[in-house]
Amino acid sequence: MARHLVIGSGASGVHYALTVLQRGEEVTLLDVGFERPVAPLPDATYPQLKEQLDDPLTHFLGPRAEYVVYPAPGSKPYGFPPNKEYVFRRAAPWSLRQQGFDPLVSFARGGLAEAWTGGSYELDDRDLAAFPFTLGDLQPHYATVAKRVGITGERDDLERFSPMSAPYDTPLPLDPHSAHLLALYHKRRRRVNALGVYFGRSRVAVLTRPQGERQSCTALGRCLMGCPRESLYAPSYTLRELHEFPGFTYVPSVFVDRVLVDGNGAAIGAFGRHVRTGEELRFSGDRVVLAAGALATTRIYLATMLHEQGTAPELSGLMDNRHVSMPFVTPVFVGRDVALASYQFHHVALGMRGASPAGDVHGQLTALKAAQIHPIVSSLPFDFHTSLQVFRRVRAALGVANFWLADTRRTRNVARLVSEHGVPPHLQLHYADDDVDLEHTRAAITTIRRALRALDAFAPKSQTTILPRGSSVHYGGTLPMTREEAPHTCRPDGSVRGFERLLVADGAAFAALPAKNLTFTLMANAVRIASAVT
Amino acid sequence: MPNDASWHTEAATFGAYLGARELPAEVAERYQMAVQDWRSVGFDRFDDWLLHFAAGHRFQTSLADAYSRLARPYGDLRRRLTLMLALLENHGTTHAPYDRAEPSGAARAWLALALSAAGWGLRTLLATAICMPAHVLLSRGRPRRA
């Protein structure tokens, strides 16, 4: 019976593991694994939490109010709450230097997708043009993941961008602002479509019916803090499910440094260190699966090459989706009440076709509901007194369109491992041609602003922000799956060329980054790879 | 270093300015603790003056805030007011006004917005007349010690 040594408990790792466990094989999952804190008062709404907790100030702001978002140049109008600290905490051995790239990395149980807003969109043929497999190869695995995770959606205009081959659950009730925007879209579809923009319902990984230990969404408004009912999917729920299999072993507190390779180039295990004690640890397996997230997987691969060959290559093709944040106001909602009891994130999504797959744009519209208001109020251009008065009147009318552009592998964007005397090697990322899609980004901003205008929503130019590269949280391309034999690439089945029994199951193996939110595809691809492993 | 009484006065004044009728003791304590954590950040003599002026009375707070939004948007006073707002919006007895909108119908809302804007304009003019001379004068001095 094969023993799979899976590195990382993020979206890719847990779905790879579940797939092979279900067919009776064994898995050892190595993970740093910072744990999610228990959510208090699981039935309390966002405002009730403030009234019922013994110490709400510590819960929302930290013991010394260190999670307050202060006004600063370029500061975002939101912040993560203290209970999401586990998602972004760095493991001590991790060292990263970056230029032109400001990524998020997670060592949490469940990885970065613990902070996922649930957007789930199947790729289409066009998105997969650069991949060495077809949509037909991937679609059965979308269905598997949709059944495991629970994804809501309905057939609408977005189907022209994102197929609906998987089973989708009944969508969540729309918040009033989103319902208004969609209703207007249906009335003015021709005008909006003439811009090349299409709107529809967000497809989200939120349960509208109970599933196992997870309960259906009751609109507590606590999504950003981590849903206490577990309605909004996080990979740590699948990790919990893995423990039910007798062949599963979970080893937390391990920072994997490199893959152990025998004299024939076959992966036979992993070498790492205990994150607290620094103790050296070795683990064996019949197959090693890198699923630590694109950047951590890249580091493990480079450290393996450094150890095996005495030198680590420079990996080109580093990718990240360009991310634009466009706040908007819908004047007809000025003076209305705000729907705090609602799914906190996006209810509406948009698609925009480019001249080529690299030109596509995908976005999600979030109407402001439950939120920490101090970062927003302090960013308004008035004194606090006026800002509070204005904010209360316009709150229900505020929203933000977040949208992303596709990215492609280019040679100037690289990852390398840098060794300095006396210091452990660190990963260095250099995104050199950040401005390559600026013109297209600006054109997309103009078009989407016009599309919002057609829905009687206004997006002030001064408030629109092109976020630094790395903000999309979707990285990849350093070990791409290709049909052609080439060094530092993966075969279509995820196996790494130059090694035996070494697989990449996460975004590092993606040959392109389509504009759509990729988490659903990361999970489906991991299932595809696990299904093909013999 | 301010004593406990002046901390409390400052917190109560800023709380009142932001709409809290009574300031819970936990909010005042947490306010003092958090501000003490950042006191090494380099603000200058004008920041000190603005803060001192603002802590005197909530009307003075409104003037100092109006001026600092223009001249010191990331200064000490704006940080303290942001902190106070964060504490008020998360405390069990003070959060309610900050967690809701003010539904009133469109016409009343737009009228209220126009009045707010007018009030802001007048306050900013008055604030500039009072604060700008101090700003010019104190900007000639050296930064205060951390």
Residue A440 touches partner B, C-beta closer than 8 Å: no
> In which element (H, E) is residue A302 found?
helix A294-309
- Show pLDDT as tens, one digit a residue, over chain A (534 residues): 679 999 999 999 999 999 999 999 999 999 999 999 999 999 999 999 999 999 999 999 999 999 999 998 877 788 889 999 999 999 988 889 999 998 999 999 999 999 999 999 999 999 999 999 999 999 999 999 999 999 999 999 999 999 999 999 999 999 999 999 999 999 999 999 999 999 999 999 999 999 999 999 999 999 988 899 999 999 999 999 999 999 999 999 999 999 999 999 999 999 999 999 999 999 999 999 999 999 999 999 999 999 999 999 999 999 999 999 999 999 999 999 998 888 999 999 999 988 888 889 999 999 999 999 999 999 999 999 999 999 999 999 999 999 999 999 999 999 999 987 767 789 999 999 888 889 999 999 999 999 999 999 999 998 899 999 998 889 999 999 999 999 999 999 999 999 999 999 999 999 999 999 999 999 999 999 999 998
Give the separation between CA A533 and CA A136, rounded to whole angstroms: 18
Residue B128 touches partner A, C-beta closer than 8 Å: no
Q: Give me the pLDDT at residue A486, please.
A: 96
Q: How near does any CA of chain B get to the CA of A368, in Å?
A: 11
A383/B66 CB distance under 8 A: yes
Return phi, psi of residue A419, to 5°. -105, 130
Q: Give me the pLDDT at residue A419, please.
A: 81
Q: Give me the pLDDT at residue B69, please.
A: 95
A383/B108 CB distance under 8 A: no
- Closest to A47 (Cβ–Cβ): which among B74, B99, B112? B99
* Nearest to A452, CA basis, from A182, A204, A202: A182
Half-sphere exposure of B97 (CA within 13 A, CB side): 12
A383/B119 CB distance under 8 A: no
Residue at A424: amino acid letter: P
Q: How near does any CA of chain B get to the CA of A452, in Å?
A: 20
Return phi, psi of residue A40, to 5°. -75, 160
Q: Quick one: residue B92, left, alpha or beta (phi over 0 = left, psi -120 to 50 = alpha)?
A: alpha
Report A:10-49 residues touching B (Cβ under 8 A): 46-47
Instruction: Assess contact for A344 and A231: CB atoms under 8 A.
Output: no
* Nearest to A292, CA basis, from A37, A146, A507: A507
Q: How near does any CA of chain B get to the CA of A266, in Å?
A: 53
- Closest to A396 (Cβ–Cβ): which among B92, B101, B110? B101
Residues of chain B with pLDDT under 50: 145-146
Q: Which residues contact B86 (CB under 8 A, 6 or more apart)?
A: A61, A65, A68, A69, A372, A374
Residue A337 touches partner B, C-beta closer than 8 Å: yes
Residue A384 touches partner B, C-beta closer than 8 Å: yes
Q: Give me the pLDDT at residue B2, please.
A: 67
Q: Give me the pLDDT at residue A93, please.
A: 83
Which residues lie across from A365 on neighbouring strands? A348, A401
Q: Give me the pLDDT at residue B12, please.
A: 96
- Closest to A65 (Cβ–Cβ): which among B81, B83, B100? B83
